[in-house]
Structure 1
Amino acid sequence: MKVTEKKIEGCEALLTIEMDSASMEDALDHAYQKLVKKVDVPGFRKGKAPRQILENFVGRERLIDESLDEVLPHACAEAIKEEKLQSFGTPGVEVLQNEPLIFKAKVPLPPKVELGDYKSIRLEPENVEVKDEIIDGMIRQLQHEKAIWEPVERPVKSGDLVVMDLESTIDGAPFINQKGLQIGIDEQSKYPAPGFSQEIIGLAQGDTKEFKLKYPDDFAKPELAGKEPEFKVKINEVKEEKLPPTDDDFAMSLDVEMPTFEALKARLTENYRKRIEQQANQDYENRLVAELIKMSKVEYPANLVDMEYERLVNAQMERWRSQVNSEAELEELLGRVNPEELAKQLRPMAEDRIKISLALGKLSSAEDIKVTDADIDAEVTRMLEPVPEDQRAAQRQQMESKEAREQVVQVLLSRKTMERLKQIATERLPTEASAETTPTTENETENKEEATP
């Protein structure tokens, strides 16, 4: 075996490999030993036909093909060793010719990451503000949920609930026909057709009206796109929404059963604050990582993206599976999926994840960030807090496996690395930053102080 050509492109080595005749003969002989046991050769018991007879019977090409499963992996491994390469996955091979056997091997090489001047990153997190109108909107939504509808003797206004008899056709065929139908009047609504609510506004109890509407050509339901339904309505009753007053009784009527309205408002405010702070923190981390990636050089073999893309596809499959009630529904849903569109959506995401993972991994190494056993134990304890006390011992035992602890290590390492990047970006001391984040162990604090420039 000899390598006749070698080319390094990024994180891939392209090798052209030629097998010598002696090695090929050994491989053909091994292939004969396997093939002779599977092929019936006239005049011979299975497994007893001489090699030349078998070769004449099945053809030399068949014998060569049978040998490739053994030859190619072995020859690739030898070539990689000879060229002093470090393979980062299974090489891809392409046979160029059979005699002599010449093939190309595409060998994935380890990723390369060169961090830029990451210590020059300066980026402050954005302050979050809980606006009164947001909380008021939440309270108004809760009022809507507890509202009652009272009949009124006046023309229909937007926001009313109207009881009507409805008849309709599309191209002469029955469409929606129902007596006593209740429809909420909303000028933004597209039910039962865009513009329907506008036609009802101004009508009063006992009024009738006939009108025609048209669905847009790009309507979400293709079977209705461009169609022109004809409607005939009779207004039976007009109802107005009556919101409950925002008092203590209203607060007690909700599922959360807060004792006072002020307590309810405080709970809504605090929950909303936590939510927007979490989102602001995630956005801040995303901006930091984007700055790190922008100033760094990250190279990786294609197989890394392929593996991450496969994980994303599997995760999407699980989400789809959770949205349906049967395998038949899942098959129907998958039948509408365009593989090219899915790849266009998920492959760039896979590439971004690879870049982020590699850059943060290099940063944790550059900053000598470590995860101690004490860190792991503390994190496991924190993770088990929501677990019922009588189940914690069993859950803790499961978390003691090597695989489980390694997963915790990766979570903590990622968290610590991100916190270090925040410290650098805001030029704060570790003790100042830790006051706003998850409590650290004494060892963790020492590690961070040593890494602080």
Structure 2
Amino acid sequence: MKSAVETLNPTRVRLTVEVPFEELKPSLDAAYRKINQQVTVPGFRKGKIPARIIDQRFGRGAVLEEAVNDALPKFYNEAVTEGEISPLGQPEVDITELKDNELLTFTAEVDIRPEIQIPDYSGIEVTVDAVEVSDEDVDTTVDQLRERFASTTVVERAAAEGDVVKIDLEARVDGEVLADGVAQGVSYTIGSGQMLDGLDEAVTGLEAGGTATFTSELKGGSAAGREAEISVTVESVSARELPGLDDDFAQLASEFDTLEELREDSRRRLAEEKKYQQATEAQEKVLDALLELVEVPIPQKLLADEVETRKHNLEHHQLAQLGMDLDAYLSMQEKTREEFDAELTEQAEKGIRTQFVLDEVAKQEKLNVSQQELTEHLMRRAQSSGMSPDQFAKAVVEGGQVPMLVGEVSRGKALAAVVESVTVTDSNGEPVRLDEDEDEAAGDEAVAGTENSTDED
């Protein structure tokens, strides 16, 4: 077999492959055996029909077609190896010549990973928010904990902000009650703003048995994004009472004996959270700065496929779970279809560029992924997916997604290596150093934010 590679553009090549007919013989023999098992010829036992009889009865062309279809993947893969190319996706194959007992010639056009040069990135400088925890931050956290331990008592008065009301709701669009627009006995805290726009104003001032009507845009369901007339009836009004801010509360809500110990623990947790946020911010800013330094040609077919995959996942998985279609989503986001498509294309392109650049950094830095690193990454992914590690691992293996996870870990390590080589300072002008655990976890998050849906390699 002989092959040649022609570069069509930085991201696409054409392979021309010539196969001597004798190299087709194994596939030709297999084609005769397959046809032998599928057909019946009077006078011959099944599976014992001579090749010349098959040629006479069914045509030599049918046998050749079967043999070529069987052999093409093998010869294509050999040509890819010989040409030292990294294909992306499936090739477009065209048989240009097939001479019986002489020669098979075919071409295969396929997108490839572009050759990119990673410049010296050590001069990158980024600034991130300083890790600062104020007394007000601690107060807010403790107050949120108090909210969780609040008690409620039914009262005979008009509802006010902070009260918990039990309500019935009914939504009408164009005068018709929606099948999924009725809810009864819903508990709602006035002022939380967690349901419909206008609900807080409608129920404030109502006593048990009171009714109000208001107009609001529905956020989900069959009429998501549409204006509806909402009727709300208050069944009961309950006042919320927060526990006292003292040592008794600390013992009730935590493992600590004093309020001061609880506040110090809250301060420590907030500092850890802000340090993680700082690490993620550093990773994201360094990644953006790195991408600006590197010229990355994008395979257009890969980009189109990635855009379509992202759109499909949004429409048929994320929005479908919310009972919403794309038009309703666009209405809620106040975006046109053109704006949505442009934004999706930009995100997909960044994902592809990120993958190519970080893969090249990993190759340049000779970064490998250990079994322990893969296991730790799998545990983090399982936790974020809501599945047990065993369930997630099984799904990954059955879906053939292990190489994808290895790629994610490798890119996270590559980004962490870049961050280690650049200058990161906080908003106070102090240098920022990330510890290894923060670096890896934040790297996962930063890369995941841009990762493309398919790891085609």
Instruction: Classify the TM-score, shorter chain.
Output: 0.5 to 0.7
Alignment map for 1:283-302 (pairs within 5 Å): 283-298=281-296
Question: CA distance change for structure 1 residues 76 and 232 in 2, over 3 Å: closer, same or farther?
Answer: closer
Which of 277, 281, 298 lines up with 2:279 in the alignment? Answer: 281
Deviation of residue 435 (structure 1)?
Answer: 7.8
Matched, 1:92 2:95: no
Structure 1 residues 95 and 288: CA distance shift in structure 2, 3 A? same
Deviation of 1:219 after TM superposition, in Å, equals 3.9
d(CA) in 1 for partners of 2:114 and 2:169? 67
Q: What SS class does the counterpart of residue 361 from structure 1 fall into?
A: helix
Alignment equivalent of 1:188, drawn from 187, 190, 193: 193
- Aligned equivalents of 1:169 and 1:421: distance in 2? 52
What is the distance in 2 between the residues matched to 1:181 and 1:25? 74
Q: Deviations over 1:135-181 (max 9, x none)?
A: 222111111122223455654322223467x6968558798696x87
Q: Distance in 2 between matches of 1:126 and 1:261?
A: 29
Contact 2:303 2:349 in 1 (8 A): no
Deviation per CA, 1:256-310: give whole Å up to 9, x if none. 321111110111111111111111112102211222232124568899999999x
Aligned with 1:105: secondary structure? strand
- The count of aligned residue pairs is 380
1:219–1:226 contact (8 Å) kept in structure 2 = no
The aligned counterpart of 1:258 is: 256
Q: Distance in 2 between matches of 1:352 and 1:197?
A: 46
Question: Normalized per residue, which structure has more strand?
Answer: 2
Determine the C-alpha separation between the residues in 2 that align with 1:77 and 1:200.
Answer: 69
- Which structure carries more relative contact order (alpha carbon 8 Å, separation 6+)? 2
Find the residue that maps to 1:188 and give its secondary structure: coil
Could you say if the C-alpha distance between residues 33 and 300 of structure 1 is closer, same or farther in structure 2, counting changes exceeding 3 Å?
A: farther
Deviations, residues 287-341 of structure 1 (Å, cap 9, x unaligned): 11222232124568899999999x999xx99xx8xx9xxxxxxxx8599899xx9
Question: Which amino acid counterpart does residue 252 of structure 1 have in structure 2?
Answer: Q
2:27 counterpart of 1:46? no
Q: Residue 358 of structure 2 corresponds to which residue in structure 1?
A: 357
Q: Percent identity, aligned pairs only?
A: 23
Aligned to 2:337: none
Pick one of 107, 117, 120 that aligns with 2:120: 117
**Would the alpha carbon gap of residues 145 and 161 (structure 1) be closer, same or farther in structure 2, given more than 3 Å must change?**
same
Q: Judging changes above 3 Å, is the alpha-carbon distance between structure 1 residues 51 and 290 closer, same or farther for their aligned structure 2 residues?
A: same
TM-score, normalised to structure 2, is 0.63
Hey, what's the Cα distance between the residues in 2 that align with 1:210 and 1:377? 60
Q: Do 2:202 and 2:214's aligned partners in 1 also have CA atoms closer than 8 Å?
A: no
SS where residue 43 of structure 2 aligns?
coil
Map of 1:248 onto structure 2: 247
CA change 1:356–1:131 in 2 (3 A) is farther
* Alpha-carbon shift at residue 76 of structure 1 (Å): 3.2
Provide the residue aligned with 1:388 in structure 2. Answer: none
Shift in CA distance, 355/149, structure 1 to aligned 2, threshold 3 Å:
same
Identify the residue that residue 55 of structure 1 maps to in structure 2.
55
Deviation at 1:72, TM superposition (A): 1.8
Q: What does residue 228 of structure 1 align with?
A: 229
Task: Check 1:378–1:132 CA distance in 2 against 1; reply closer, same or farther (3 A cut).
Answer: same
What SS does the aligned partner of 1:139 have? helix
Conservation of the 8 A alpha-carbon contact between 2:359 and 2:411: no
Distance 1:4 1:380 in 2: 41
Say if 2:147 and 2:242, in contact at 8 Å, map to a contact too.
yes
Q: Which has more radius of gyration?
A: 1
Q: Which amino acid aligns with 1:50?
A: P
**Secondary structure of 1:159's match?**
coil
**Over aligned residue pairs, what C-alpha RMSD do you find?**
5.3
2:16–2:108 contact (8 Å) kept in structure 1: yes
Gaps of at least 5 residues in structure 2 are 327-339, 377-401, 438-457
Tell me how far apart the structure 1 counterparts of residues 321 and 186 of structure 2 sit (CA, whole Å): 32
C-alpha distance in structure 1 between counterparts of 2:357 and 2:297, whole Å: 12
Structural mapping, 1:378-389, within 5 Å: none
Note the alpha carbon deviations across 1:106-152, whole angstroms, 9 max, x for none. 36666633112323223344422213332222111111122223455
Match of 1:393 in 2: none
Q: Describe the superposition over 1:366-413 as per-residue Cα deviations: whole angstroms up to 9, x where unpaired.
A: xxx899x9xx999999xxxxxxxxxxxxxxxxxxxxxx9xx99x9699
AA aligned to 2:250 is A
- CA deviations on 1:190-243 (whole Å, 9 max, x unpaired) are 36xx534423323457xx645433343x5422258444344565x7x6433222
> What is the SS of the residue equivalent to 1:190?
coil
SS in 2 for 1:157: coil
Q: 1:361 to 1:306 in 2, by over 3 A?
A: farther
Q: How does 1:320-331 map to 2 (within 5 A)?
A: none
